[in-house]
Amino acid sequence: MATLKLLTDEEADAIPAVKEVFDDIRAIRKSDFINNFWRGLANDPPLLKRTWEGLKAVMAADGVLDPLVREMIYIAVSTANGCSYCVHSHTAAAKARGMTKAQHAELLAVIGLAGQTNHLVTAMQIPVDPKFLV
Amino acid sequence: MATLKLLTDEEADAIPAVKEVFDDIRAIRKSDFINNFWRGLANDPPLLKRTWEGLKAVMAADGVLDPLVREMIYIAVSTANGCSYCVHSHTAAAKARGMTKAQHAELLAVIGLAGQTNHLVTAMQIPVDPKFLV
Amino acid sequence: MATLKLLTDEEADAIPAVKEVFDDIRAIRKSDFINNFWRGLANDPPLLKRTWEGLKAVMAADGVLDPLVREMIYIAVSTANGCSYCVHSHTAAAKARGMTKAQHAELLAVIGLAGQTNHLVTAMQIPVDPKFLV
Amino acid sequence: MATLKLLTDEEADAIPAVKEVFDDIRAIRKSDFINNFWRGLANDPPLLKRTWEGLKAVMAADGVLDPLVREMIYIAVSTANGCSYCVHSHTAAAKARGMTKAQHAELLAVIGLAGQTNHLVTAMQIPVDPKFLV
Amino acid sequence: MATLKLLTDEEADAIPAVKEVFDDIRAIRKSDFINNFWRGLANDPPLLKRTWEGLKAVMAADGVLDPLVREMIYIAVSTANGCSYCVHSHTAAAKARGMTKAQHAELLAVIGLAGQTNHLVTAMQIPVDPKFLV
Amino acid sequence: MATLKLLTDEEADAIPAVKEVFDDIRAIRKSDFINNFWRGLANDPPLLKRTWEGLKAVMAADGVLDPLVREMIYIAVSTANGCSYCVHSHTAAAKARGMTKAQHAELLAVIGLAGQTNHLVTAMQIPVDPKFLV
| Torsion on CA atoms B6, B8, B10, B16, rounded to nearest 10 | 40
**What residues have CB less than 8 Å from D39, skipping those under 6 apart?**
D6, D7, D8, D12
Strand ranges (E), B28-134: none
Residues of C in contact with F46 (CB under 8 A): 57
Q: What is the pLDDT of residue F134?
A: 72
Task: List the chains bordering chain B where 3 or more Cβ pairs fall under 8 Å.
Answer: A, C, D, E, F
One digit per residue, pLDDT tens: chain C, 134 residues?
899 999 999 999 999 999 999 999 999 999 999 999 999 999 999 999 999 999 999 999 999 999 999 999 999 999 999 999 999 999 999 999 999 999 999 999 999 999 999 999 999 999 999 999 87
Please tell me which residue, A1 or B101, carries the higher pLDDT value.
B101
Calculate mean pLDDT across residues E77-83.
98
Sign, Cα dihedral of E53, E58, E59, E60 = positive
Of A63, A77, A111, the CB nearest to B114: A77
Contact A20, C104 (CB under 8 A): no
Q: What is the pLDDT of residue E134?
A: 72
Around Cβ D97, how many Cβ atoms within 10 Å? 14
Residues 55-74 of E with CB under 8 A from B: 57
Of B80, B107, B116, the CB nearest to C116: B116
D64-126 folds as AhpD-like (1.20.1290)
Query: Is B27 buried (19+), middle (13-18) or exposed (0-12) by CB count in 10 A?
Result: exposed
- Interior angle at CA C101, CA C100 and CA C105, nearest 5: 120
Pick the CATH number of B7-61 from 1.20.1290.10, 2.40.50.140, 3.40.630.10, 3.40.50.300: 1.20.1290.10
Sign, Cα dihedral of A82, A83, A88, A93 = negative
Report d(CA F72, CA F90) in Å as an integer: 8
Residues of B in contact with C88 (CB under 8 A): 125
C1-61 folds as AhpD-like (1.20.1290)
Query: Is C11 buried (19+), middle (13-18) or exposed (0-12) by CB count in 10 A?
Result: middle
Report d(CA E75, CA E81) in Å as an integer: 10
**Residue type for position A2:** A
Q: In this model, does residue B104 exceed pLDDT 90?
A: yes
Residue C26 CA neighbour count, 13 Å, CB half: 10
- Interior angle at CA A92, CA A88 and CA A94, nearest 5: 115
- DSSP 8-state symbol, B132: G
Shortest alpha-carbon distance between residue C95 and chain E (Å): 25
Q: In this model, does residue F1 exceed pLDDT 80?
A: yes
Check if A35 contacts B (Cβ < 8 Å).
yes
Q: How many angstroms separate the Cα of C113 from the Cα of each of D50, D55, F111?
A: 11, 7, 31
Chain centroid, CA B73 distance in Å: 9
Beta-carbon pairs below 8 A across chains D and E: 66
**Residue type for position A7:** L
Cβ of B133 within 8 Å of Cβ of E57? The answer is no
DSSP for D18-66, please give it.
Answer: HHHHHHHHHHHHTSS---HHHHHHTTSHHHHHHHHHHHIIIIIS--SS-
Task: Give the nearest chain F residue to A73 (CA atoms).
Answer: F123
Q: Is F84 helix (H, G, I), strand (E, B) or coil?
A: helix
Contact A44, C109 (CB under 8 A): yes
- Write down the domain spans for chain C: 1-61, 64-134
Report d(CA D73, CA C77) in Å as an integer: 8
Calculate mean pLDDT across residues A52-65.
96
- Mutation for testing the E interface, residue in F41, F44, F132, F133 having most E CBs under 10 Å: F132
Percent of chain B beyond pLDDT 70? 100
Q: What is the pLDDT of residue E21?
A: 98
ipTM of the complex: 0.97
Q: What is the pLDDT of residue E121?
A: 98
Contact E36, F70 (CB under 8 A): no
The string of pLDDT tens digits covering residues F6-65 is 999 999 999 999 999 999 999 999 999 999 999 999 999 999 999 999 999 999 999 999
Report d(CA E114, CA E122) in Å as an integer: 12
Residues of E in contact with A87 (CB under 8 A): 3
Q: What is the CA radius of gyration of chain D?
A: 18
The string of pLDDT tens digits covering residues D51-90 is 999 999 999 999 999 999 999 999 999 999 999 999 999 9
Q: What is the pLDDT of residue C134?
A: 72
What's domain B64-134's architecture? Up-down Bundle (1.20)
Cβ of C108 within 8 Å of Cβ of B116? The answer is no
DSSP for E47-116, please give it.
Answer: HHHHHHHHHIIIIIS--SS-HHHHHHHHHHHHHHTT-HHHHHHHHHHHHHTT--HHHHHHHHHHHHHHHH
Residues of B in contact with F91 (CB under 8 A): 3
Report d(CA E9, CA E32) in Å as an integer: 10
Contact D23, D35 (CB under 8 A): no
E64-127 folds as AhpD-like (1.20.1290)
Cβ of A114 within 8 Å of Cβ of B84? The answer is no
Report d(CA C55, CA F119) in Å as an integer: 32
First to last CA, chain D: 49
Report d(CA A72, CA A90) in Å as an integer: 8
Q: What is the pLDDT of residue B63?
A: 95
Of C3, C81, C82, the CB nearest to E87: C3
Sign, Cα dihedral of E103, E107, E112, E113 = positive
Q: In this model, does residue D134 exceed pLDDT 90?
A: no
DSSP for A4-56, please give it.
Answer: SPPPPHHHHHTSHHHHHHHHHHHHHHTSS---HHHHHHTTSHHHHHHHHHHHI
Q: What is the pLDDT of residue C32?
A: 96
The string of pLDDT tens digits covering residues D103-128 is 999 999 999 999 999 999 999 999 99
The string of pLDDT tens digits covering residues A67-126 is 999 999 999 999 999 999 999 999 999 999 999 999 999 999 999 999 999 999 999 999
3-state helix, strand and coil shares in percent for chain B, rounded to the nearest 5: 70, 0, 30
| Torsion on CA atoms C129, C132, C133, D1, rounded to nearest 10 | -20
> How high is the mean pLDDT of chain B?
97
Q: What is the pLDDT of residue A134?
A: 72
Domains E1-61 and E64-127 share a fold: yes
Query: Is D90 buried (19+), middle (13-18) or exposed (0-12) by CB count in 10 A?
Result: buried
- Interior angle at CA A28, CA A26 and CA A34, nearest 5: 30
The string of pLDDT tens digits covering residues A7-21 is 999 999 999 999 999
Task: Give the nearest chain C residue to B122 (CA atoms).
Answer: C79
